[in-house]
Structure 1
Amino acid sequence: MTTILVTGGTGTLGSLVAERLRAGGHEVRVLSRHARPYAVDLREGGPGLDEAVAGVDVIVHCASTPRGGDEKAAGHLIEAARRAGVPHLLYISIVGVDRVPLGYYKSKHAVEKLVEESGLGWTVLRTTQFHDLVFQGLQTLARLPVMLLPAGVGDQPVEVAEVADRLAELATGAPAGRVADMGGPEVRTAPDLARAYLRAGRRRRPVVEVRLAGKAYKGMRDGGHLTPERAVGKGTFEEFLARRFPAS
Structure 2
Amino acid sequence: MQYTIASRQNRAGKQNVVVIDLLENKGIKEAVSGKEIIFHLATDLKRDTEATQNLLGAIDPNSKVHLIYISVVGTDKVPFAYYRQKLGSEEAVKRSGIPYTILRATQFHEFIDQILSTFKIPDRPAPQKDPAATDRNSNCRRKTLPVILGWRVQ
TM-score (norm. length: structure 1): 0.45
What is the aligned-residue RMSD (CA, Å)? Answer: 2.9
Amino acid at match of 1:130: F
Kindly provide the CA deviation profile for residues 99-143 of structure 1, in whole angstroms up to 9, marking residues without a partner as x.
1111111010000001111111100011221145347x39xx6xx
How many residues align? The count is 129
1:96-111 correspondence to structure 2 within 5 Å? 96-111=74-89
Residues in 2 aligned to 1:43 and 1:56: alpha-carbon distance in whole angstroms: 21
Correspondence 1:87 to 2:94? no
Equivalent in the alignment of 2:106: 128
- Where does structure 1 differ by over 4 angstroms across 4 or more consecutive aligned residues? 148-151, 241-244
State whether residues 53 and 86 of structure 1, in contact with CA within 8 Å, keep that contact through their aligned partners in structure 2. Answer: no
Equivalent in the alignment of 1:39: 19
Residues in 1 aligned to 2:106 and 2:136: alpha-carbon distance in whole angstroms: 20
Corresponding residue to 2:47 among 69, 84, 87:
69
Amino acid at match of 1:27: Q
Bigger proportion of residues as strand: 2
Equivalent in the alignment of 2:34: 55
State whether residues 38 and 49 of structure 1, in contact with CA within 8 Å, keep that contact through their aligned partners in structure 2. Answer: no
Identity of aligned residues (%): 33
- Point out where structure 2 has 5 or more consecutive residues left out of the alignment: 138-154
Amino acid at match of 1:105: Y
Correspondence 1:27 to 2:5? no
TM-score (norm. length: structure 2): 0.70
State whether residues 22 and 54 of structure 2, in contact with CA within 8 Å, keep that contact through their aligned partners in structure 1. Answer: yes
Corresponding residue to 2:91 among 113, 118, 136:
113
Bigger proportion of residues as helix: 1
Amino acid at match of 1:45: N
State whether residues 78 and 115 of structure 1, in contact with CA within 8 Å, keep that contact through their aligned partners in structure 2. Answer: yes
State whether residues 30 and 38 of structure 1, in contact with CA within 8 Å, keep that contact through their aligned partners in structure 2. Answer: yes
Equivalent residue of 1:38, what SS? Answer: strand
Compared with structure 1, are the counterparts of its residues 91 and 242 closer, same or farther at alpha carbon in structure 2 (3 Å cutoff)? closer
Compared with structure 1, are the counterparts of its residues 89 and 150 closer, same or farther at alpha carbon in structure 2 (3 Å cutoff)? farther
State whether residues 61 and 98 of structure 2, in contact with CA within 8 Å, keep that contact through their aligned partners in structure 1. Answer: no
